[in-house]
Structure 1
Amino acid sequence: MAYAAEKLDEEKVFKDPVHRYIHVSDRVIWDLIGTKEFQRLRRIRQLGTTYLTFHGAEHSRFSHSLGVYEIVRRIVDDVFDGQREWSGEERLLSLCAALLHDLGHGPFSHSFEKVFDLDHEKFTRAIILGDTEVNRVLRRVGNGFPEKVAEVIAKTYPNKLIVSLISSQIDADRMDYLLRDAYYTGVSYGHFDMERILRIMRPYEDQVVFKKSGMHAVEDYIMSRYQMYWQVYFHPVTRSGEVILNNILHRAKNLYRNGYPFKHPPVHFLTLFAGGISLDEYLHLDESVVFYYFQVWQEEEDPVLRDLCDRFINRRLFKYTEFDPAKEYPKYLELVSLFKKAGIDPEYYLVIDSSSDLPYDFYRPGEEGERLPIFLLMPGGELRELSQESEIVEAISGKRRTDHKLYFPLDFLLDESSKKNVKRTIRKLLNIP
């Protein structure tokens, strides 16, 4: 039997709190899960610094990736099977792309990407196409198969229906992380009726569409996503942890470039600090490695690095206040000057942080980051864009919400052992008693 069609002697199942069971019957999928590159995802949290706010948010990219695979498996095996627009020939491609879509995430993914100018999707494709265990498994399916999987993840694969399963405004990736993140954070507003959404999904030419009869389930999904972003993903305490994490990495990079003699040299970061990192070096980075350095850097001579690491490890986070940069920038410049007079480095201890999200958008051809809309399949067979039928979705379509906050170390400002008058002036500007 050809490797691509080979089934396990007995179906394997993963017990999962979100989907109850994750089913694996394909030899290729089972072998991919066993690769060291996929197992690495166990050591990378799905939600970065969110555990500092919601203590249950310790789940991994590994469990999320399995969840996305399971949703796509159910779609192609149960929903699409037998549909006129679905041949089944690209079933395995869909499953592999779903399983591997987050393979290139690094520790504290988005903070690392921001500080070191990295792109996890590029690393995902590099892992799939490089000298890796994952590539060797995919290559056994066919010589061009790894390239096809990489194209699906890059959204360049010719069959956009396959792409839309893991990358669209309502896809398996988003459905799993909303349900999984809601479960592990303990919130109630991230839940929606996924079973109903799967029942009304249909393959239609080069995209997934949804029967009009189930529009309310799609509305519920859109609103769940909106609430999760503002109540969980953009939670100001979580963002405080991310601000400190970013500043640790910036400080360590700047110290290295200025020849600072580390007591504990950042061996795993050297190529990152130098502006480049190989795939092999990248794959040796996970959150256990990062935490090791944060632990030992609490003993460094540099007071800023030492303090920031202590804050992150022991959850001594920055406080925050609402702040509008467009209106209050002169105030920010005044605060920068006062922080310097108080002996507090504003580069690391006075940070404007902005969060922004567009919950749903209709099609705007040519715009940067354009999004394909969600289409409803009407009883007569025509397609209608979701916001044309839903008053709820129309109300939020194309409306970007942005939030700005100013972060600072309150404990430094309350310590009046030095620069007492300057700190009192700072507190007055920040409306701190």
Structure 2
Amino acid sequence: MAVIESDPANRTHQSLVALAAALVHDLGHGMFSHAFEDIGKRINLPMAIHENVSDALVRESEISEVLNRELGRGFSEEVADVIRNKNPGNLFDSVVSSQFDADRLDYMQRDRLMTGVQGSGVDATWILANLEVGTVRINADEEEAGEVKTLVLGPKAFHAAEHYVLSLFQLYPNVYLHKTTRGAEKIFSSLILKLYGLVQDGRNDLSGLPDNHPIILFLSNPNAIENALLLDDALFWGSLHFLSNSKDKLVAEYASRLEGRRLLKCIDVRRQIEGQIPVRRGMTPEDRQEREAKITIKVKTIMKEITARSIERERNKERQILIDEYRRSPYKKFQDSQTPLNQILIRHAGVIEDMAHLSSVVSGAESFEVNRAYVSEDDTEGRTMIASIIQNSVGEV
């Protein structure tokens, strides 16, 4: 693990590395951001994953030249290393990437403003005013393994920190995992995957795009960073008119749907099952856990069957059923991250404690989960099939 240097000059250097990393870590995002990344992970397209692109840009492009010229030889390599690390190695790294980092404080406020969501506000000014540096012990296998300096919030910021966790969590159902947002992303993903298949089969002529179009160039050679850098949201939206005239039926349909905002109809499986196993008055925490377990078992069974039928339909060249499953916990506990640098820590009664230990609201918050299927509004057979699967499972409750 990297350590915090005691020498002021070295601390200044580390802070500059963290500042630069915070500024450039998202440079590699492609069109539709994380939806495009999911495609890259699914079919192994390294340059569709933003960390890989950001890493290459910081190490090898003119960004590297500027950083090294202004801040010293090898500076860009240090910045790239911070971006590449999955877990923070020291206090400065945690500012760039952790459960309480500058990125989250920024996008929570920005996304709330840009989407018009009235809730999910965060008092960043008060949080930052009560921010300090503390020293905590690191334990491994129940044995003391030294100490590390990390960000700590003073006791006056306890409720603001609690609200920060819950506000971030609420942004997921209201914005990031909203059925409309996810429905558009699923269509986008299926469209790109179909285009990739056409390109790999040498059938560019069916796509509706010319051979020198940036999307075709990237799908033809997805390992070339210069092709990845051509892609952004504006390019994709500008391509929809041509894609909607594709000779491939699925490409044409999905491009037209995105262009005209005619998304597929969402069938929210989890919500339907939750309605069949309602919350009862006077339920204990154990009762709620038992209810959640029943719901989860039912939903998993249903989604497994819907997914299998969807694959079968696709194999038979029938209409697609798009599957959406995702789970998000409001707060990752220490046992999951294995480092205090990733936690939200509060100074309470002279002792530094994890947020989850102090807040019954945070520790007791249930994970948010989506289990949905998207079908065409005129796909009567598909809708009937899904309804039958759900009904058969509900009958077994």
Q: Does 1:273 align with 2:219?
A: yes
Out of 152-161 and 204-213, give the one that drifted further: 152-161
Q: Does 1:400 align with 2:359?
A: no
Identify which of 378, 400, 410 aligns with 2:348. 378
Structure-1 residue corresponding to 2:263: 317
Task: Provide the rounded CA distance (Å) in 2 between the counterparts of 1:395 and 1:424.
Answer: 36
Task: Provide the rounded CA distance (Å) in 1 between the counterparts of 2:260 and 2:309.
Answer: 31
Q: TM-score, normalised by structure 1?
A: 0.69
Structure-2 residue corresponding to 1:64: none
Q: Does 1:138 align with 2:84?
A: no
Structure-2 residue corresponding to 1:71: none
Name the amino acid aligned to 2:14.
Answer: E
Identify which of 232, 236, 248 aligns with 2:175. 232
Name the amino acid aligned to 2:363.
Answer: E
Write out aligned runs for 1:408-419 (5 A). Answer: 408-413=375-380
Aligned-pair identity (%): 27
Structure 1 residues 215, 297: CA separation in 2 closer, same or farther (over 3 Å shift)? same
Quote the offset at 1:292 in angstroms. 2.9
Quote the offset at 1:325 in angstroms. 3.9
Task: Provide the rounded CA distance (Å) in 2 between the counterparts of 1:158 and 1:424.
Answer: 46
Structure-2 residue corresponding to 1:344: 318
Q: Secondary structure at the match of 1:284?
A: coil
Structure 1: segments with no counterpart, 5+ residues:
1-83, 414-421
Structure-1 residue corresponding to 2:302: 327
Q: Secondary structure at the match of 2:171?
A: helix
Structure-1 residue corresponding to 2:238: 292
Write out aligned runs for 1:30-69 (5 A). Answer: none
Q: Secondary structure at the match of 2:132?
A: strand
Higher relative contact order (CA 8 A, sep 6+): 2
Task: Provide the rounded CA distance (Å) in 2 between the counterparts of 1:430 and 1:302.
Answer: 31
Task: Provide the rounded CA distance (Å) in 2 between the counterparts of 1:233 and 1:211.
Answer: 30
Quote the offset at 1:285 in angstroms. 1.7
State how many pairs are aligned: 332
Q: Does 1:204 align with 2:134?
A: yes
Quote the offset at 1:163 in angstroms. 0.6
Q: Secondary structure at the match of 2:98?
A: coil
Write out aligned runs for 1:127-166 (5 A). Answer: 127-130=57-60, 132-140=61-69, 141-155=71-85, 160-166=90-96
Give per-residue Cα distances to partners, 1:338-382, cap 9 Å, x unaligned. 7888x733xxx2011112111102211677x998322112342x3
Identify which of 23, 26, 30 aligns with 1:102. 26
Which portions of structure 1, spanning 4 or more consecutive aligned residues, are displaced by more than 6 angstroms?
338-341
Contact 1:362 1:387 in 2 (8 A): yes
Out of 256-265 and 97-106, give the one that drifted further: 256-265
Q: Does 1:389 align with 2:358?
A: yes
Out of 293-302 and 152-161, give the one that drifted further: 152-161
Task: Provide the rounded CA distance (Å) in 1 between the counterparts of 2:358 and 2:175.
Answer: 29
Structure 1 residues 188, 366: CA separation in 2 closer, same or farther (over 3 Å shift)? closer
Task: Provide the rounded CA distance (Å) in 2 between the counterparts of 1:232 and 1:251.
Answer: 27
- RMSD between aligned residues: 3.1
Structure 1 residues 318, 139: CA separation in 2 closer, same or farther (over 3 Å shift)? same
Q: Secondary structure at the match of 1:122?
A: helix
Structure 1 residues 350, 150: CA separation in 2 closer, same or farther (over 3 Å shift)? same
Give per-residue Cα distances to partners, 1:136-179, cap 9 Å, x unaligned. 21011211111111122223899611111121111110011111
Give per-residue Cα distances to partners, 1:49-87, cap 9 Å, x unaligned. xxxxxxxxxxxxxxxxxxxxxxxxxxxxxxxxxxx9x95
Structure-1 residue corresponding to 2:160: 217
Task: Provide the rounded CA distance (Å) in 1 between the counterparts of 2:91 and 2:209.
Answer: 50
Structure 2: segments with no counterpart, 5+ residues:
1-7, 42-47, 136-148, 270-298, 391-397
Structure 1 residues 200, 410: CA separation in 2 closer, same or farther (over 3 Å shift)? same
Q: TM-score, normalised by structure 2?
A: 0.75
Q: Secondary structure at the match of 1:354?
A: strand
Contact 1:377 1:383 in 2 (8 A): yes
Task: Provide the rounded CA distance (Å) in 1 between the counterparts of 2:314 and 2:51.
Answer: 39
Give per-residue Cα distances to partners, 1:397-427, cap 9 Å, x unaligned. xx533210010011343xxxxxxxx578558
Q: Secondary structure at the match of 2:331?
A: coil
